[in-house]
Structure 1
Amino acid sequence: MTSSTVAGQGHGTLADRAYRAISDRLVTLRIRPGEPINDERIATELGFGRTPVREALKRLEGDRLIVSYPRRGTFATEVQIADLGYLSEVRQQLEPLAASLAAQRAGEDDRGVLNRLSAQLADASDGGTDLIRLDMTVHRAIYAATRNPYLEDTLVRYDNLATRIWCLFLDRLPALAGHVHEHGPLLRAIIDRDAEKAAALAAGHVEGFEAAIRGVI
Structure 2
Amino acid sequence: MTSTSSTVTGQGQGTLADQAYRSISERLVTLRIRPGEPINDERIAAELGFGRTPVREALKRLEHERLIVSYPRRGTFATEVQIADLGHISEVRQQLEPLAAGLAAQRADERHRDELGQLLAQLAETPEDGADLIRLDMTLHRAIYAATRNPYLEDTLVRYDNLATRIWCLFIDRLPGLAGHVHEHGPLLRAIIDRDPDKAAALAAGHVEGFEAAIRAVI
TM-score range for the pair, normalised by the shorter chain length: over 0.9
Cα deviations across residues 182-209 of structure 1 (Å, max 9, x unaligned)? 0000000000000000000000000000
Q: Structure 2: where are the runs of 5+ without partners?
A: 1-9
| Runs of 4 or more consecutive aligned structure 1 residues displaced over 2 Å after TM superposition | none
TM-score (structure 1 length as normaliser): 0.95
Q: Distance in 2 between matches of 1:9 and 1:57?
A: 22
The verdict on how the C-alpha distance between 1:24 and 1:55 changes in structure 2, with shifts beyond 3 A counting, is: same
Higher RCO (CA-CA < 8 Å; seq separation 6+) = 1
Matches within 5 A, 1:177-216: 177-216=179-218
Q: Once the 2 structures are TM-superposed, how far is the Cα of residue 176 of structure 1 from its aligned partner?
A: 2.1
Q: Give distance in 2, aligned partners of 1:112 and 1:9.
A: 21
> Which of residues 146, 149, 174 is equivalent to 1:147?
149
Conserved in 2, the CA contact under 8 Å of 1:103 and 1:189?
A: yes
The one-character-per-residue Cα deviations of 1:127-150 (angstroms, maximum 9, x if unpaired) are 411110100000000000001111
Query: What amino acid sits opposite 1:93 in the alignment?
Result: Q
TM-score norm. by structure 2 comes to 0.94
Shift of 1:125: 3.5
1:76-129: per-residue Cα shift (whole Å, max 9, x none)? 000000000000000000000000000000000000000000011111132411
Task: Give how far 1:177 is off.
Answer: 1.6
Question: What is the match of residue 62 of structure 1?
Answer: 64
Cα-to-partner distance string for 1:42-65 (whole Å, 9 max, x where unaligned):
011111111110010000001100
Tell me whether 1:22 sits opposite 2:15 in the alignment: no
Structure 1, unmatched stretches of 5+, are 1-7
Question: Secondary structure at 2:69's aligned position in 1?
Answer: strand
2-side partners of 1:79 and 1:20: how far apart?
Answer: 19
**Structure 1 segment 1-217 matched on structure 2, within 5 A:** 11-217=13-219
Amino acid at match of 2:103: L
Query: 1:190 is aligned with what amino acid?
Result: I
CA–CA separation in structure 1 for the residues paired with 2:150 and 2:33: 31
2:167 maps to amino acid: I
Count of aligned positions: 210
Aligned-pair RMSD on alpha carbons?
1.2
